[in-house]
Amino acid sequence: MMKMTKHILIVLDSCRFDSYQRANTKDVGVVHPYHTDSNHTITAFIDFLCVNKLPHPIDSPNNPWFKKTFNFVDKIRCPVYFLSDNPHLHPVNLHVKGLIELGVFKEYKIFEPNYRSCVKIIKHANDLNLQDNYFIVLWFGETHQPFDFGNDTNDKWKDFSSRVDKYNNGEDVISDSEMEYMHERQISACEFIMQQLWKRFLKDHLDATIIITSDHGESFGENHKFGHGCDIHEAQFLVPFITNLEG
């Protein structure tokens, strides 16, 4: 009898380790601090799904998660589903059987309190006809900037983002309280996603191999930086890693 192959990879786009750690995610599993090799979404995406290079333990860069014996791309012979709200991620190097692009990154107003893209991705996942063998990737973007400014998202984000380059170049144009607010918004987004994911999807698929992680972290004032892809600092490379894999 052929062994069933069920894999679920969940990626929180831009979620640093302490954001996940501070969020209420107690139902999902124990979180560990892992290092990712990229601080940018596109390069991390290529690492994860094209060359099988997942985040690794801090003290063990040759960890088993991305060895050839556990290779998503080469070893999995089953339908592959990639669900994301990020229009830049096109898994062209995967043998994808099903692809749904939601495209809700087109305007910032989608980052309102009801987190519509997260709920939509989970709904699509539940609508899939998942058989005994599958590999599903759920790539959530609401932990990514601009996070959530409520009903004033567009105006407040535009005002904040207009100062980011100056701040990253050393000018004190963003206050500590604004930076902490941004961090709290990422924590809230992470908490909402994980609670919805557990309640609406994960708890019904515990027979699958599950990995939950992030593609990269985020700076909230470390080295006078905001964002990611702009500094070689642990804030942008330390990410959460949760799995039910044995070993």
pLDDT surpassing 60 at residue 96: no
pLDDT surpassing 90 at residue 216: yes
**What does the pLDDT read at residue 104?**
40
Q: Which residue shows structure tokens 């992470």?
A: 190
pLDDT surpassing 60 at residue 102: no
Name the pLDDT band for 108 (thresholds 50, 70, 90): very low
**What does the pLDDT read at residue 23?**
93
- For 74-84, the pLDDT digits (tens) are 556 666 788 88
pLDDT surpassing 50 at residue 232: yes
pLDDT surpassing 90 at residue 16: yes
Average pLDDT in the chain: 79
Sketch out the chain's domains with CATH numbers: 6-243 (3.40.720.10)
pLDDT surpassing 50 at residue 245: yes
pLDDT surpassing 90 at residue 200: yes
**What does the pLDDT read at residue 153?**
66
Which of 123, 113, 116 lies closest to 197 in space, CA to CA?
123
Average pLDDT (154-172) is 89
d(CA 212, CA 20): 11
**What does the pLDDT read at residue 219?**
96
Average pLDDT (171-190) is 93
d(CA 91, CA 110): 24
Q: Which residue shows structure tokens 């592959």?
A: 80
3-state secondary structure of 58: coil
Average pLDDT (18-40) is 89
Q: Report whether 175 contacts 160 (CB < 8 A).
A: no
Q: Report whether 100 contacts 124 (CB < 8 A).
A: yes
d(CA 116, CA 124): 12
